[in-house]
Amino acid sequence: MESIEREITIPAAPAEVWPAVTHSDEISAWFGAEAEIDARPGGRGTFRWPDGTARHVVVEDVEPARRLAFRWLPFERTADGAIVTVPSTRVEITLDEVADGTRVRVVEREAFALGATRVRPGGQALALAGA
Amino acid sequence: MIAARIVKKDRADLVFTALADATRREVIRALSREGPSTATGLAASLPVTRQAVTKHLSALADAGLVTATRRGREKLYQLSPRPLTDAVSWMADLGARWDARLAALRDHVSAPRRRR
């Protein structure tokens, strides 16, 4: 249960779907949050929900008309301005050309704190728990 | 980023991290199979040392997946599945959110008046 995978087929070519998943104004039209994202590797992004919460992302991989991957940073700004920690996850959106359009697949995976759970085999597994 | 790292980890985060380790999942299975146990008792049925089991139990306790009560010189550990339910429900919510988003994405891309 460490990841979820969802997909949908859209009756349009990958080149038409791509702007919808990478341009801020277009993302804002379907994501459920107002997006500002620099869809380039290393680019930053912010998503602001109607209830006032906001989260940040870092873009990790971009392969035009094919793949976008970004990581949610592990904290969220709540409506009243507080910062709370939330699970950090990595989202990978892949576009595949299929007979009737584009299959959009989303995989969102819990981004385990790398290096914390497997620091040494059988060793310091508690590094993260104490963080 | 630095600020976020020093804040207490979210419970679901700890749960997933705790469960990311194969040995810890074995420990959970052993506790489920044998009921409340000591580290010594668990080590007897697992291919790891008592010290290793103790560390894993401690990580599981931090995640709230096991609770410990003192029994003599040892602690008795038992499963506490509530955080697991919370974590699973968090994942279920996540899936539902993407279902809704993808449907909206399809509608957005298919909309005849879409401009870019």
The CA distance from A105 to A100, in Å, is: 15
Query: Per residue in B53-100, pLDDT tens?
Result: 999 999 999 888 899 998 888 899 988 877 777 777 777 788 888 999
The closest alpha carbon to B31, from B3, B4, B57, B64, belongs to B57
* Lowest mean pLDDT across A5-14, A66-75, A94-103, B89-98: B89-98
**Number of helices (H), then strands (E), in chain B:** 6, 3
Cα B60 to chain centroid, rounded: 8
- The closest CB to that of B48, out of A8, A86, A122, belongs to A122
- The closest CB to that of B95, out of A6, A85, A112, belongs to A6
Please list, in sequence order, all residues whose beta carbon lies within 8 angstroms of the beta carbon of residue B85, skipping any fewer than 6 positions away: none
**pTM score above 0.80:** no
The pair of three-digit structure tokens given for residue B74, joined into one six-digit string: 């040892």
Q: How many domains does chain B have?
A: 1
Is there a contact between B37 and B76 (Cβ–Cβ < 8 Å)? yes
The CA distance from A101 to A48, in Å, is: 30
Query: Per residue in A53-67, pLDDT tens?
Result: 999 999 999 999 999
What number is the ipTM of this complex? 0.83
Q: Which residues 18-47 of A have a C-beta within 8 angstroms of B? A: 19-21, 23, 26, 29-32
Q: Which of A1, A57, A102 to mutate to test the interface with B (most CBs of B within 10 A)?
A: A1
**Domain annotation covers residue A115:** no
**Domain annotation covers residue A69:** yes
CATH number for A65 = 3.30.530.20
Q: How many domains does chain A have?
A: 1
Tokens 């929900």 belong to residue? A49
The phi and psi torsions of A128 (rounded to 5 degrees) equal: -75, -40
The closest alpha carbon to A67, from A90, A49, A36, A44, belongs to A90
**Domain annotation covers residue A67:** yes
Rg (CA), chain B: 21
The CA distance from A123 to A117, in Å, is: 9
Q: Which domain holds residue B73?
A: 2-81
Quote the longest CA-to-CA distance of chain B: 73
**Domain annotation covers residue A124:** no
